[in-house]
Amino acid sequence: MQVEKYTTDSHNEALLKEHKRRLDYITAAVNDAEKIIQKLTAFQVAIPSWALGTGGTRFGRFSGGGEPRNLEEKIEDIGLLHKLNQSSGAISLHIPWDIPENASHIKALAAQNGLRFDAMNSNTFQDQPGQELSYKFGSLQNVNKAIRQQAIDHNIEVIKYGIELGSNSLTVWLSDGSCFPGQLNFREAFQHTLSGLQEIYKALPADWKIFVEYKAYEPNFYSTTVGDWGQSYLYSSKLGPKAYTLVDLGHHLPNANIEQIVALLLMEGKLGGFHFNDSKYGDDDLTTGSIKPYQLFLIFNELVEGMDAKGMDHVSDMGWMIDASHNVKDPLEDLLQSVEAIMLAYAQALYVDRKALKDAQQNNDVVAAQEILQNTFRTDLRVLVAEARLRAGGVLDPLAFFRKEKIREKLIKSRGSKTVATGL
Ligand SMILES: [Mn+2]
């Protein structure tokens, strides 16, 4: 779907005067606004190939129409998002939902859309048509060696696809676990999983990373073999320097202190990837920042502080991705909202007065520490995010543009109203 330059130009022109007024106000009030804008311009969040369609639950799925019918159209959708916000310049592929049949063609198409390939995602949580052995009782943890081998081989195949596309990381999320007490020998399940991951690790190219994603429960409801950050950390430290823990915001038990988890993993040099979403009750996969924006800010506060303490590059030293599902919203509008929330939380974290916070902590001044964080959170920095977008060639108000240009209607017209994208 092509967006003509004159449409973005006239959109920006119409909003420019008010934008400048707000920008002047905030740059006068905020120290280092220019530095924040530059960091925002560089920051990119990957969009997974399974997030372009309407999501569903086990009860149903209500497609909105115009969904991408193949990988090429998914790349075009992400290219469109990136064109509007200039912050979605990467795609994360899921195998086998989105196998790149012709890698050089897919690579070229992504490049045309200004996208690079983020982490590759394997799938041993479903049985595929024609698959010889079933993952019903787990993949890498399975008591059957042949099933474990099948899961190892699949992950190695995913790495091969990733090499062809120029990706440099593999995310392994296992649904392995048990639904009932007694079903599983925990130690044996761990050992099997570890040796499977070790085989996959051996197949990684020298400059690749492997991310071990954890999840507290679902689809298994009694135990999960990579159930929390401690277990993920055990695997990633036993595997070696190319292995990292991946934090998905929705994969914790209720009220877990995710900002503290992030801080400690960064301290140990073992946080490699991050999946954004939001939730009220479980792994709800809702729009990032829609339920707990303050928590998102607190997490970003630890991310920025922890990465700076290690001298890490905010853009390239972490795999940033949205991992959400869109049950009732237009997926593209939902993704625009998520990216906006992420950029805003990042901007706020960059704006925290580190020295003042450190002083408050050293003096046990609890009130001052809270004031510093909450004053930052309550400062409206949205105009800095918009300015970064504008400078990079995007539009001032992506959602308004999407609606005014009737982009979904155009997609339905060209793709049809009954299309269903592969994915969740
Ligand atoms: Mn995830």
Task: Indicate whether 276 belongs to any domain.
Answer: yes
Tell how far CA 92 is from the center of its chain.
Answer: 9
Q: What is the pLDDT of residues 356-369, one digit of tens each?
A: 999 999 999 999 99
Question: What is the average pLDDT across 183-198?
Answer: 98
- Give the model confidence (pLDDT) of 132-181 as tens digits: 999 999 999 999 999 999 999 999 999 999 999 999 999 999 999 999 99
In this structure, are strands 60-61 and 90-92 parallel, antiparallel, or unpaired? unpaired
pLDDT class of 423 with cuts at 50, 70, 90 = low
- Pick from 10-19, 60-69, 100-109, 407-416: least confident: 60-69
Residue 247: predicted pLDDT: 98
Tens of pLDDT along 255-298?
A: 999 999 999 999 999 999 999 999 999 999 999 999 999 999 99
d(CA 103, ligand 1 centre) in Å:
25
- Max Cα–Cα distance, the chain, nearest Å: 67
Q: From the CA of 248, how far away is ligand 1's center (Å)?
A: 5
Q: Report how far ligand 1's centroid is from the alpha carbon of 364 (Å).
A: 37
Question: Residue 215: pLDDT above 80?
Answer: yes
| Percent of residues, the chain, with pLDDT higher than 70 | 100
**Residue 420 covered by a domain:** no
Question: How far does the centroid of ligand 1 lie from the alpha carbon of residue 309, in Å?
Answer: 26
Does residue 422 lie in a domain region?
Answer: no
Total of domains in the chain: 1
Long-range contact pairs involving 373-376 (C-beta distance under 8 Å, separation at least 24): 373/297, 373/298, 373/301, 376/297, 376/348, 376/351, 376/352
| Separation CA 394–CA 114 (nearest Å) | 12
How far is ligand 1, taken at its centre, from the CA of residue 404, in Å? 32
Structural domain of 390: 5-415
Residue 58 banded pLDDT, cuts 50, 70, 90 = confident
Q: 127 CA to middle of ligand 1, Å?
A: 19
Q: Is the pLDDT of residue 384 over 80?
A: yes
Confidence of residue 421 (pLDDT cuts 50, 70, 90): confident
Q: Does a structural domain hold residue 343?
A: yes
Residue 345 placed within a domain:
yes
Distances (CA, A) of 214 to 87, 236, 247: 26, 11, 7
**Does a structural domain hold residue 424?**
no
Residue corresponding to tokens 């939380």:
345
Q: How many angstroms does the Cα of residue 275 sit away from the middle of ligand 1?
A: 5
The SS3 call for residue 259 is helix
Q: Read off the CATH number of the domain in which 240 is found.
A: 3.20.20.150
**Minimal CA–CA distance to 40: which of 372, 392, 374, 395?**
392
| Predicted pLDDT at 375 | 98
Spatial distance between the Cα atoms of 106 and 164, rounded to a whole number of angstroms: 10
Per-residue pLDDT band for 1 (boundaries 50, 70, 90) equals: confident
Is position 421 within any domain? Answer: no
Parallel/antiparallel/unpaired status of strands 169-173 and 209-213: parallel
- Other beta carbons within 10 angstroms of residue 131's beta carbon come to 12
Q: What is the mean pLDDT of residues 196-214?
A: 98
Q: How far is the CA of 173 from the centre of ligand 1 (A)?
A: 7
Q: Which position has the token pair 């706020």?
A: 348
